[in-house]
Every structure is written in structure tokens, then in C-alpha cells.
């Protein structure tokens, strides 16, 4: 299925070359504008990224390999350009070559991708107004910076609880008003993007929709941050290509989430691939978070794998918390109680400090 989808996408879209123009240290705004105009006059898009020391410009839309070489040679001859780097990877905008510095996404009081470790917590599914308000108050008191909660739930069986839909979105919005916590919730359908954007601060794209290309493009046309979970059978390259779909539409506020992959092991629900954290950090500038709840499927594994994720370099966590997990309508076995979440946060603090970060 994955191979077929990629093949059809390749058949429809021509290969596009991207080159990164690194400006000399001290380049002025006028210098940058000169290069941008040069690219635009040739019919190419230009994206400017200003770092602490360097400004880089990405040239997008080059389809002829020979033209790519000509542009690179001409720009390289300019005294205001330090170097021109063609991006050879199949993912362009997502790559470290495109943007050497890690992207930082502001959501509420959290700067995701900075030294701050962001913890998103809340129930797998919003089941009632009382449940989500109680949970929101508890996770905020323990130190969470974002409230998670499923309004629309993609389930393997059509007979399982599918979420409360728009009613749940209203409860989530009220929880934000009560606690001040911004909300992350899953969007499953292109028809719901506008509705979810009215109630949530972050779109979550779940594992089953990682390769729903129409949905990726639709959230890419917004400016709402996107939390892209890895497909349960996806390689890292396929995952980063999915992020490229979002960014290619103009939305560069993308963060990645490792949530476990399907392997031959049956002792736990999924195999949490913590190798992905340093690998992704090497390949891309996008922040990466870890979901130890979905990643393991067992509540007693959430705390140790949360610690392991931060030690591996994750920029944050997404954790399922329910006031009464034994009565949860979905994923009861992997949700922890507010008391257990407080214990987890207390265990995280010395580790976060030890790796030079803050909560």
C-alpha cells in the first residue's frame, strides 16, 4: 500500500529541485532582497530563514537539473553569497540542509523545540465535560503545558467508541478557558479542519492518517501548528516525506511524534523506537516528541519510557491521563491517573535538569 501510494504520487508530480543559498555573515536586508528578487524573476519561490548568525534562502520550484546547476553557479559568484547547497534528500523543506537551526514553535507558554521540554497530557478520549475539566486542572497542577484530548477517535473496530465529536471540542475549549492550557486534538477529515481550528491550538495527525495526503495538504494550508505522528508501519523517510507534504503547502509549524511502530513483538502493544529521536534530530530541524502511552500500550511502562525519551533527546512528551482509567472508553490499559502523572513529572525534573533543559 505504501509503495503504491508513493508511486502514484511520483507519477503525478515532477521532481522538484531545491537549493539553499547561505548568505555571508553580515548580509543586509537589502542583500537578501536582491537574491529573493533574482529568484522570483526566474519564476521560483523563495523562503527566507534568519538564524542567529546566518540568513539562508531556499529556492523552490526548479524542475530542470541543468537550470539548477546554472542558478547555483550564478548565485555562488555573488560576493554576498557564502555558498549554495543543493538538497539531495527526497525531503527538502524538512531537512537540516534547508534549515540548520531547530524550529521552535510557540504554543501557549511552551516553546517546542527550545531548551524547554513540553509535556502534553490528558485523556485518550473526551468522554464528558466533567472528565476533561477535572483532568485539565490536575495535569496543569502537575506541570503539563498542553492539554490533550480526543474529540474524533479513529478506531480499528467500527463498534468501538468513536469520540463525542463537536461536543467534545466545546468541552476542550471550555477546559482552556478554565485552566489556560492550549489544546491538542486529532483532526481526521479535511471537512473538519476549520472546525477543529476554532477550538484547538494544535492539529494532531494520528498514525492512521500519516499518509492521508489530502488531509496533510489541507492542514498545510493553515497556520495552525501540526503534530504529526509516525505511521505504525512507516519508515523514518516516509514519515519525513509526510511532513514535507504539510510544509510544501506553506505551514512550517510542524512537529513530529514517535508513537511506536508495529513489529513482531507481542509483549507490548507497539515497539517504541527511541532510535528515531537522535536519527530525526540529525536529519531534520523539526522538533520531535514521544508518546510513551501509545508507544508501549501499558501504563506501568509510561514512566520509564518517558525518562528514556528525554534522555534520548526528545523535545517533549504526550501522555494519556484519565481520572479513572479502569472506566475509560478507549485505551484503558495505557492511561495513567493524575496521581501517577504527578509522580512522573516529579521524576522528570532532575533528569531534565541533568540534560541541560527545563520543564
Region 153-182 average pLDDT: 89
pLDDT of res. 65: 75
Buried b (16+ CB within 10 A) or exposed e, 34-62: ebbebbeeeebebbebeeeebbbbbbbeb
pLDDT range class, residue 12, cuts 50, 70, 90: very low
Q: Which three cell numbers stand for residue 161?
A: 467508541
pLDDT of res. 92: 83
pLDDT of res. 32: 93
What span, in angstroms and rounded, lies between the C-alpha atoms of 20 and 85?
A: 5
pLDDT of res. 2: 39
No. of helices (H) and no. of strands (E), the chain = 12, 14
Region 297-325 average pLDDT: 97
pLDDT of res. 5: 42
Domains of the chain: 14-87 (3.30.70.1140), 105-354 (3.20.20.70)
Q: State yes or no: pLDDT of 261 exceeds 70.
A: yes
Cα 95 to its chain centre, rounded Å, is: 14
Q: Is residue 315 a contact partner of residue 290, using CB atoms and an 8 Å limit?
A: no
Q: Is residue 351 a contact partner of residue 307, using CB atoms and an 8 Å limit?
A: yes
Sign of the C-alpha dihedral computed for residues 58, 64, 68 and 73 taken in this order: negative
Residue identified by cell 508530480 is 13
Report, in angstroms and rounded to the nearest whole number, the Rg of the chain calculated over CA atoms. 21
pTM of the shown model: 0.83
Cα 58 to its chain centre, rounded Å, is: 21
Q: Is residue 283 a contact partner of residue 240, using CB atoms and an 8 Å limit?
A: yes
pLDDT range class, residue 48, cuts 50, 70, 90: confident
DSSP string across 90-143: S--TTBTTT-SSPP-EEETTEEETSSBPEEEEE-SB---HHHHHHHHHHHHHHT
Q: How far is CA 275 from CA 67, 108, 235, 249, 348, in A?
A: 38, 29, 12, 29, 20
Region 65-78 average pLDDT: 83
What angle is formed at CA 203 by the lines to CA 257 and CA 112, rounded to 5 degrees?
55
Amino acid at each position: 500500500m505504501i509503495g503504491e501510494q508513493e508511486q502514484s504520487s511520483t507519477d503525478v508530480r515532477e521532481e522538484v529541485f531545491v537549493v539553499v543559498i547561505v548568505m555571508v555573515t553580515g548580509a543586509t536586508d537589502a542583500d537578501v532582497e536582491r537574491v529573493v528578487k533574482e529568484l522570483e524573476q526566474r519564476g521560483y519561490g523563495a523562503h527566507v530563514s534568519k538564524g542567529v548568525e546566518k540568513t539562508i534562502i531556499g529556492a523552490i520550484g526548479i524542475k530542470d537539473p541543468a537550470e539548477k546547476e546554472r542558478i547555483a553557479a550564478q548565485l555562488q559568484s555573488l560576493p554576498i553569497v557564502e555558498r549554495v547547497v543543493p538538497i539531495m534528500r527526497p525531503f527538502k523543506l524538512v531537512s537540516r540542509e534547508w534549515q540548520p537551526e531547530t524550529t521552535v514553535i510557540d504554543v501557549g507558554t511552551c516553546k517546542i523545540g527550545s531548551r524547554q521540554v513540553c509535556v502534553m497530557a490528558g485523556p485518550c478520549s473526551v468522554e464528558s465535560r466533567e472528565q476533561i475539566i477535572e483532568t485539565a486542572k490536575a495535569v496543569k497542577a502537575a506541570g503539563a503545558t498542553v492539554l490533550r484530548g480526543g474529540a474524533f477517535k479513529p478506531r480499528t473496530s467500527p463498534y468501538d467508541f468513536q469520540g463525542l465529536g463537536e461536543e467534545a471540542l466545546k468541552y476542550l475549549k471550555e477546559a482552556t478557558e478554565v485552566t489556560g492550557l492550549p489544546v491538542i486534538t486529532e483532526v481526521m477529515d479535511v471537512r473538519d479542519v476549520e472546525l477543529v481550528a476554532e477550538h484547538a491550538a494544535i492539529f494532531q495527525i494520528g498514525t492512521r492518517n500519516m499518509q492521508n495526503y489530502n488531509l496533510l495538504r489541507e492542514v498545510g494550508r493553515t497556520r495552525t501548528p501540526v503534530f504529526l505522528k509516525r505511521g505504525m508501519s512507516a519508515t523514518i523517510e516516509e514519515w519525513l516525506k509526510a511532513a514535507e507534504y504539510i510544509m510544501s503547502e506553506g505551514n512550517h509549524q510542524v512537529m513530529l511524534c514517535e508513537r511506536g511502530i508495529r513489529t513482531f513483538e507481542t509483549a507490548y502493544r507497539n515497539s517504541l523506537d527511541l532510535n528515531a529521536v537522535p536519527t530525526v534530530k540529525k536529519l531534520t530541524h523539526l522538533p520531535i516528541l514521544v508518546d510513551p502511552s501509545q508507544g508501549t500500550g501499558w501504563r506501568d511502562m509510561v514512566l520509564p519510557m518517558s525518562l528514556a525519551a528525554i534522555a534520548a533527546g526528545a523535545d517533549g512528551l504526550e501522555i494519556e491521563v484519565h481520572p479513572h482509567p479502569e472506566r475509560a472508553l478507549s485505551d484503558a490499559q495505557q492511561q495513567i491517573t493524575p496521581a501517577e502523572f504527578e509522580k512522573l513529572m516529579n521524576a522528570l525534573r532532575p533528569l531534565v535538569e541533568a540534560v541541560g533543559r527545563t520543564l
